Amino acid sequence: MAFCHRFDPTSLREYDIRGIVGKTLTTDDAHAIGRTLGSIIARNGGSTLVVGYDGRLSSPDLEAAVVKGARTSGMDVIRMGRGPTPMLYFASMMLKADGAIMVTGSHNPPDHNGFKMMLANRPFFGGQIRELGHLAETGDVVAEATGSVRTIDIAPRYVERLVQDWDGGERQLRVVWDNGHGAAGEALSLLVRKLPGAHIVLNGEIDGHFPAHHPDPTIIQNLQQLIAAVKENNADLGIAFDGDADRIGVVDNTGQVLWADQLLAVLARDVLRDHAGATVIADVKASQVLFDAVDQAGGRSVMWGSGHSLIKAKMAETGAVLAGEMSGHIFFADRWYGFDDALYAAVRLLGIVARLSGPLSNVRRALPHMFSTPELRFDCADTRKFDVIAEVAKRLRESGARVSLIDGVRVTTDDGWWLLRASNTQAMLVARIESGTRTGLSRLQAELTAQLVKSGVDAPDFHGTNTRH
C-alpha cells in the first residue's frame, strides 16, 4: 500500500516535532516519522536507528509505532527502552548509529508528547524537519522492506561513563535530587549509588502523571519541594531535572536558586582553567554577567539563538568546549560529547562544589548584583507569535534602537537589556529583562510592555521580578 502522511503543521517545530496527543500528534505521526527518517537514513547509505522513550503515558505506544515505521524502511532498529534523552544520545554515539529518535514531551504538560531526532549523530532540525514533513506528505520514501529489531540495556554503561568524570575527590557532599517523576528515575538511582556522599532522591519513581509537580526546573514553583528538602537536610545543594533530563535546575545550600546562566558562569570558570581561550556559548536569554564572566576568565563568549539543536550546531561550528541556555540545557564538549545532559552536568557541578573551600552560596553571592526577571513565558498563538516578533523588530529598527536579531529581539539601553522571542516548542512568547538598578528594570519593563501593546499582546506579569546575587 502506498505511503502518504500529512502532519499537523503546528507539530513541525524548529528543533523537534511536538504536539498534543490525540489532537495534533498521533501514533500515525509516529509511524510516519519512523518510516520517513528511516528512508532518509537509507538514502544516505545508513541502516541503524536507535529509539528510546520517556516516562509519559503515551510514550510506549508512540515508540512502538516509530519502530514499526522504521522497520518498514528497512532499518535495523535498536530499542533503548525507557530513559532520559541524553542516554539515547549516548547510545547513538557509542553504537555509531546512523540515526536516533527519542519519544519525549520534555517539560510540556502530560498530554503533550514529541520526538527529538539525530542523523549521523548530529542534530536533525530546522529545514531537515520541514523536509521530513514534505517527504511524508508526498510519499517520497524508500520501497517497503523489513528491517530487524533488538533491545539493549545501555543504562549501566551510560552511568559508568558519567561517573568516570567525577573529579571531586573524597569529600562527602549531601545532595538532594528531584527527579520530578521524570524519565531519569532509573538512571539516577544507579548514579547516586556510585557517587560519594549522602543522596536524597525526591520523586524518583517514573510517573507520567507527574503527581508532585510539573517537571520544569526553570519555574520557581516547581522547585519549592527541592528547596524545602535542601534546608531540612542541611544539604550542600539540590539538583532538579525536567521530564527527559536534558535540562537541569540547581538550588544552593541556602535554598536559593542558581539560575542557568549563573550555573554556566560557575562551570565556565572551571572548564576554562584547562582550556584557556576556548569558546563558551550562551543563548540570548542569558545575563550579561555570564558573558562578562567568560571573557574575564580568559574565554571567548558567544551569544547565540535558543534551542538545543541550534546550540549544538553552533558548538560544532566554533569548536566550543561548553555551552548553555537559560532553559537549563548544559552542553559539555571538553571531556563529554557535546550534547545536553543534565545528569552529566550534575556530576561536573558536584565535583566543583566538592573542591570549593566554602559553600556554593558564596560563589552565587560573589556574582555581580543585578535586578532581573526570570524567564517570562506567556500565551501567544502559534499562528501569531512569529509575526509579533517581526512587528516589534521592525519598529525597533525604525526607531534606531540598539537591537540584536540573533533570536527574536534583544534590545540594549543604558539601563540594561530586554529580550522578546517566540518559543519554538509552545504557543508562547518568551521575555527576559535585566538591569543594574531597580529603577532601570522598571523602565525596561515599560518599554517591553509598550511594544507588546502596539502588537495587541497582553504584557506578562512582572510580579515575579527577582534580585539575583
pLDDT in tens, 349-383: 999 999 999 999 999 999 998 999 888 889 999 88
The answer on pLDDT for 41 being more than 50 is yes
Is 392 inside any structural domain?
yes
Cell numbers for 326: 537559560
10 neighbors 18 (Cβ within 8 angstroms): no
Is 242 in the same domain as 351?
yes
pLDDT in tens, 193-214: 999 999 999 999 999 999 999 9
Is 411 in the same domain as 292?
no
The answer on pLDDT for 468 being more than 80 is no
Is 437 in the same domain as 305?
no
Is 145 in the same domain as 208?
no
Query: Pairing mode, if any, of strands 48-53 and 76-82?
Result: parallel
The answer on pLDDT for 416 being more than 80 is yes
Which residues are within 8 A (CB) of 75 and not within 5 positions of it... i.e. 6 or more apart? 34, 38, 41, 42, 47, 48, 49, 99, 147
Run of H or E residues at 49: strand 48-53
Is 266 in the same domain as 344?
yes
Is 131 in the same domain as 275?
no
User: With pLDDT > 90 as the criterion, what percentage of the chain qualifies?
Assistant: 91
Indicate the residue among 153, 177, 193 that finishes a domain.
Answer: 153
Is 250 inside any structural domain?
yes
pLDDT at 114: 97
User: Among candidates 247, 206, 207, which has minimal Cα distance to 223?
Assistant: 247
Is 111 in the same domain as 254?
no
- Provide the 8-state DSSP code for 422: E
DSSP-derived 3-state class of residue 242: coil
Mean pLDDT of the chain, nearest integer: 95
Can you say whether the dihedral through the CA atoms of 458, 372, 253, 294 is positive or negative?
A: positive
Write out the DSSP string of 177-236.
Answer: EE-TT-TTHHHHHHHHHHSSSEEEEES-S--TT--SS-S-TTSGGGGHHHHHHHHHTT-S
pLDDT at 463: 67
CATH number of domain containing 137: 3.40.120.10
Is 178 in the same domain as 225?
yes
Is 50 in the same domain as 82?
yes
Is 214 inside any structural domain?
yes
Is 16 in the same domain as 133?
yes
Cell numbers for 36: 520517513
145 neighbors 171 (Cβ within 8 angstroms): no
228 neighbors 205 (Cβ within 8 angstroms): no
The label of the residue with cell 558548538 reads 315
Is 4 inside any structural domain?
no
Is 2 inside any structural domain?
no
pLDDT in tens, 99-110: 999 999 998 899
Is 333 in the same domain as 262?
yes
CATH number of domain containing 413: 3.30.310.50
Is 403 in the same domain as 337?
no
The answer on pLDDT for 465 being more than 70 is no
pLDDT in tens, 266-325: 999 999 999 999 999 999 999 999 999 999 999 999 999 988 888 998 999 999 999 999
- Residue 450, strand partner residues: none
Is 1 inside any structural domain?
no
**pLDDT range class, residue 168, cuts 50, 70, 90:** very high
**pLDDT range class, residue 461, cuts 50, 70, 90:** confident
The answer on pLDDT for 76 being more than 60 is yes
Domain that holds residue 376: 370-468
pLDDT at 15: 85
Is 327 inside any structural domain?
yes
Indicate the residue among 93, 122, 153 that finishes a domain.
Answer: 153
Is 3 inside any structural domain?
no
**pLDDT range class, residue 14, cuts 50, 70, 90:** confident
**Between the CA of residue 291 and those of 86, 192, 262, 305, 365, what are the distances in Å?**
26, 33, 10, 14, 17
Average pLDDT over residues 112-126: 95
Indicate the residue among 332, 361, 390 that finishes a domain.
Answer: 361
423 is catalytic: no
The answer on pLDDT for 467 being more than 60 is no
pLDDT at 309: 85
Q: Kindly report the number of other CB atoms within 10 A of residue 36's CB atom.
A: 27
pLDDT in tens, 373-414: 888 889 999 889 999 999 999 999 999 999 999 999 999 999
Which residues are within 8 A (CB) of 165 and not within 5 positions of it... i.e. 6 or more apart? 335, 336, 344, 347, 348, 351
pLDDT at 439: 95
Among the listed residues 39, 47, 106, 327, the single catalytic one is: 106
pLDDT at 271: 98
Number of domains the chain contains: 3
Average pLDDT over residues 254-270: 96
